[in-house]
Structure 1
Amino acid sequence: MASLTEPAAFVLAALADQPLHGWGITAEVELLSAGQVALRVGTLYGLLDRLTAEGLVEPDREELHAGRTRRYHRLTDAGRRALEAEAVRQEANARALRARLRVRPA
């Protein structure tokens, strides 16, 4: 599997504990990324469409709130595996970068 984009990885991470609706996903992504990733509505829903097509996320339920429909999404088993693979990939990259920093030129 190809590596995930940073926003995609954070969306999957946001959904790891529970299904969320769009606003909940954007808030959780901002929290998880310490404000480094801020998703706009169009970006979020395009990303959710792609992740759904890839089988990493799926619709959970819809509920009516203040006259508007909230669509909840949840992480699939494939999404959990993809997120774990991405975490392993990023950890390996971080180890390689730290090892390079320890090398001092002569």
Structure 2
Amino acid sequence: MSKAAPQAPLTPAVFHILLALVGQERHGYDIMQQVKSDSEGAVEMGPGTLYGSLDRMIDAGLVAKGNTRDPRRIYYKLTTLGLATLRAETERLSRLAVVARRQLGTA
């Protein structure tokens, strides 16, 4: 991913992490719990997936380290590019869902 423009498609892990960070800085465990809640238990993200994804997302400019309120934890926050990328991916998935419903006859 480059830092220039929103990237799509996103992996499910990256999509869920970006979604978990909308409007709030979170630490790793909190992100994992939010992903589980947002997916209604369908997605349980482990630490390897989470921290590997976060490292790549920081490099891509989608996420940044936030304020350290607790020295035992690293907080992460959504960047402007991260929010734009999440919005673009959400729109892409919405358009794709419309096409899929039409093809399946459930529109």
Q: Same fold (TM over 0.5)?
A: yes
RMSD: 1.2
1:2, distance to aligned residue in structure 2 (A): 2.8
1:16, distance to aligned residue in structure 2 (A): 0.4
What secondary structure does 1:61 align onto? coil
Partner of 1:87: 90
Partner of 1:101: 104
The residue type paired with residue 77 of structure 1 is T
TM-score by length of structure 2 reads 0.88
* Structure ranking higher in strand proportion: 1
Q: Deviation per CA, 1:33-92, whole angstroms, max 9, x where unpaired?
A: 11121111111100000110000000002213xxxx100000000000000001001001
The residue type paired with residue 80 of structure 2 is D
Q: Would you say how many aligned residue pairs link Structure 1 and Structure 2?
A: 99
1:8 to 8, 14, 24: 14
Ranked by relative contact order (alpha carbons within 8 Å, sequence separation 6 or more), the top structure is 2
What secondary structure does 2:42 align onto? coil
Q: Which runs of 5+ in 1 are unaligned?
A: none
